[in-house]
Amino acid sequence: MAKILVIDDEADLLEMMRLVLERRGEHETVLSAEGRDGLAKALADPPDLAIIDVMMPGITGYEICRQLRDNPATASLPIIILTARAQPVDRDAALSAGADAYMTKPVMMAELLEQVDALLAKRRAGEPSALAGMFTLLSLRGGVGVTTLAVNLAVTLRQANGGAACLIDLCPSSGHVALQLGLRPQPNWSDLHDSGARALDADTITAHLLQHSSGLRVLASPFFPVVGQGIPQEMIQTTLRILQQQFPIIVVDMPSVLNEAAIAAVKAASAIGLVVAAEPPSIQTTIGTLRVLRQWSDKLHIILNQITPGPQPPAEAIERALKHPLTGNIPFDSSQARALAQRSPLALNNPDSPLAQATQRLAQTLSR
């Protein structure tokens, strides 16, 4: 028996849903006839699954869906959008907002129960296949721990999925992914660029990937800073496309500039993590970055990375300043300094550490 939240402003339908879910599905139901009330109920006591109408006064089902996805407590909540707006554009809008399934009214009870059972079973199974996608992490303010997060996220996703995963370092000025993993950055994407290959193919790109002992493959950045334009946009687009065919999981450690390669990676990403530190310059930069990135993507997540010990401003204050909710909150972890010296990420050598635990939660959230 699961707890199912139903949010729909149509009282008759709400009552029918209660009867169907409780008597035939043998589930516990929580009902809400008003969108904001339903959202509050979901956030206060997250259910096992939510069924949400779209057309409701005050707040639409799409907006509720987005807010649930943006909140770590409900980010992985299975959501069915149930709406009378039954056009293909509406289905796309529902899935873009973060819904797991889309059904139209009037709905067949058997189909609804089947969908509910399928989503609950998927949730119970731990959804290993859901941990897939291309995740880019960036901050245009350097020194906020983007590379550390990217390395730990890639290792975490690789372990959780059990399949192939690739970590790409796009930094043109001596990236540190290889350093943190204890790898020699040779070959790297600069060699790929200089290889003279007119048409990049899978074999050429694979030959330029490093192999880490965890099973992670790495496309490293050159040790020496790149002078000039760096990696061309066309090359990164082709590289990403080929790597996406080979790796269900890709994590990109982005440079702290929006060059051609970075823009191409942003556009291709299934989720973009903007890393912010609890300090004014980083917050200011993130406000501007959010504004710029919104023209290319709506899959933006803010990750607060606490890079200094001691008291921190409350997360709510940072959310208010950014006018955007936080997807992840990575605590300061003193063991990271040792992990860096040992060239072994915490996600591997100390999975119970606060940073590794927070990265696991982040991986789940970004994968939705």
Partner 1 sequence: MRERLSTAWLVADFFTYQHRLSGRMNVRYNKLAGQLNNTTTSFLQLEDAYISNVERPAEIIASYTSTVLYKQNITAVVVANQEDGLMREQTYGSYLGTYLRSVFITVPSFEIKGYLRLSGKLDLRTVLTTGTDTFVPILDGQMVSSLRQDVVFSGGAILVNKNHIGVFCVEEKEE
206 makes contact with partner 1 (CB under 8 A)? no
Which of 68, 67, 145, 69 has the alpha carbon at shortest distance from 330?
145
Q: How far apart are CA 339 and CA 333, in angstroms?
A: 10
Distances from the Cα of 310 to the Cαs of 306, 316, 326, 330, 338, in angstroms? 9, 17, 20, 14, 19
Tell me 79's DSSP state: E
Using CB under 8 A, pick the residue from 40, 86, 121, 202 that binds partner 1.
Answer: 86
Per CB under 8 A, which region of 13-21, 173-181, 234-242, 251-259 contacts partner 1?
13-21
To partner 1, the closest distance from the beta carbon of 166 in angstroms equals 32
Using CB under 8 A, pick the residue from 1, 43, 73, 87 that binds partner 1.
Answer: 87
Distances from the Cα of 21 to the Cαs of 7, 8, 24, in angstroms? 13, 14, 6
How many amino acids of this chain bind partner 1 (CB under 8 A)? Answer: 30
18 makes contact with partner 1 (CB under 8 A)? no
To partner 1, the closest distance from the beta carbon of 109 in angstroms equals 6
44 makes contact with partner 1 (CB under 8 A)? no
Q: How far apart are CA 182 and CA 151, in angstroms?
A: 11
Q: How far apart are CA 194 and CA 71, in angstroms?
A: 44
13 makes contact with partner 1 (CB under 8 A)? yes
Q: How far apart are CA 51 and CA 47, in angstroms?
A: 10
DSSP 224-293: SPPPSS-S-HHHHHHHHHHHHHH-SEEEEE--SS--HHHHHHHHH-SEEEEEE-SSHHHHHHHHHHHHHH
201 makes contact with partner 1 (CB under 8 A)? no
Using CB under 8 A, pick the residue from 9, 191, 260, 319 that binds partner 1.
Answer: 9
Using CB under 8 A, pick the residue from 4, 6, 48, 60 that binds partner 1.
Answer: 60
Per CB under 8 A, which region of 6-14, 134-142, 144-152, 310-318 contacts partner 1?
6-14
Q: Which residue has the tokens 């970075």?
A: 262
80 makes contact with partner 1 (CB under 8 A)? no
26 makes contact with partner 1 (CB under 8 A)? no
Binding footprint of partner 1 on the chain (CB under 8 A)? 9-10, 12-13, 16-17, 20, 24, 54-55, 57, 60, 62, 84-90, 92-93, 104-110, 112
